[in-house]
Every structure is written in structure tokens, then in C-alpha cells.
Amino acid sequence: MSRPRRIDPLLVAQAQETASTATSVAALRRCQAVLLPALLGATLEQTAAALGVCRATVPRLQAAFRLEKTPHSKPPPTRGGRRRALLTPEAERAFLQPWLERAASGAVVVVSPLRAALAQQLGRAVKPSVIYRLLARHGWRKVAPDTRHPKSKPEVQEAWKKNSPKNWQPC
């Protein structure tokens, strides 16, 4: 059995007053979403059909009208944010700092030690996708190897090319 409907008579009076002076379709629709169930006993489906919206929109319209008429109440919390975060953004930055210093000096950052370090800090197993998303959140990206080694000496390579045997054959 569904919950009994609670209809606030003050809210109904406000909806009637607002409906008579509404200047936009959206405002009138919000008023009607309150008035149809209150005065005619319409269900959400019937109200939605009368307003030309889907069933889930009717409670949203009612909530919007309620919020509009009671400005002292705080708005409902929005969906969004990091609800399953393992670390705060500051803690993530602090965790990545030593790895950033290694990467800045030219070392290659490998995911498996990073994953092991995070698992040790959290005290639980961590999937590789967590690490990849963490790195992406902080602007890290996969860097392809350079076309030449940073310690290579072009003059030595040219000298070898000039003095190498001409009839060299692979084994």
C-alpha cells in the first residue's frame, strides 16, 4: 500500500493564487502539478497526462513549486560529486607528489608500483582502473617513448655509420 498523500492547504492556496497570475507556461504547469492531485484527487499518472509530461516530472514540478514558495528552505542536494572517493583531492596530490618528482627527473612511472603503494596506503586492494582514473584526474597522460635516447651521441652514431663494414650480414 502506498503512503497516504499529505496535502498542505496553505500550499494549495498559494498554488491557486499563483495560477491566476502566472505569466509563463512553466509557472502554470508547476501550479497545476500541485492543484490537480490536491483538488481533484488525481494520481501522478493522471496529472502527468493532463500536463503533457511524464510521470516522474510531476513530483519534480511539485518540488520546484514548493521550493519557489518557501525561499527560506535550502534546496535539495544535487546529484554529482565524488561519492565513492578513496582519497580527498589534496590527499591524492600528496600521494602523487613523489611520483611526480621521479617523472620530472626522467624516470618512467609504472602503474603496478603505484597501485601497490596506493593499496598499502589504503589498506585494501585497488584495481588498475582506479590508478588510471586517478592519473587522468590529475592531468597525467601516457607518454610515448622519444624517437631517440636522451643519452645518445649523434656524432658517434655518424662515425659508426661511416666506418662500419659494408658487407655486414645478420647471423
Are 16 and 62 within one domain?
A: yes
Do 133 and 94 share a domain, yes or no? yes
Given a contact cutoff of 8 angstroms between Cβ atoms, the answer to whether 79 and 69 are in contact is: no
**Are residue 15 and residue 58 in the same domain, yes or no?**
yes
CATH of the domain at 25: 1.10.10
> b/e string for 101-111 if b means 16 or more Cβ within 10 A?
eeeeeeeeeee
Domain contains 128: yes
Assigned C-alpha cell, 16: 491557486
Model pLDDT for residues 79-118, shown as the tens digit of each residue = 778 888 999 999 999 999 999 998 888 888 889 999 999 9
The SS3 call for residue 155 is: helix
User: In this structure, is residue 161 part of a structural domain?
Assistant: no
Residue 96 lies in a domain: yes
How many domains does the chain divide into? 2
Tell me what pLDDT residue 86 has. Answer: 92
Q: Is residue 142 part of a domain?
A: no
Q: Are residues 63 and 105 in the same domain?
A: no
- Three-state secondary-structure class, residue 96: helix
d(CA 7, CA 16): 14
Q: Which three cell numbers stand for residue 90?
A: 589534496
pLDDT score, position 73: 65
- The residue ranking higher by pLDDT, 1 or 67, is 67
Asked whether residue 57 is domain-assigned, the answer is: yes
- Asked whether residue 54 is assigned to any structural domain, the reply reads yes
Q: Give a yes or no: residue 104 inside a domain.
A: yes
Residue-wise pLDDT tens digits, 25-53: 999 999 999 999 999 989 999 999 999 99
| Residue 93 and residue 63 in one domain | no
Q: pLDDT tens, 128-156? A: 999 999 999 999 988 767 778 888 899 99
pTM for this predicted structure: 0.45
Question: Does 59 lie in the same domain as 16?
Answer: yes
Is residue 113 in a domain? yes
Domain extent, residue 26, equals: 9-69
Residue 108: the pLDDT is: 84
Task: Examine the pLDDT at 17 and tell me if it is beyond 90.
Answer: yes
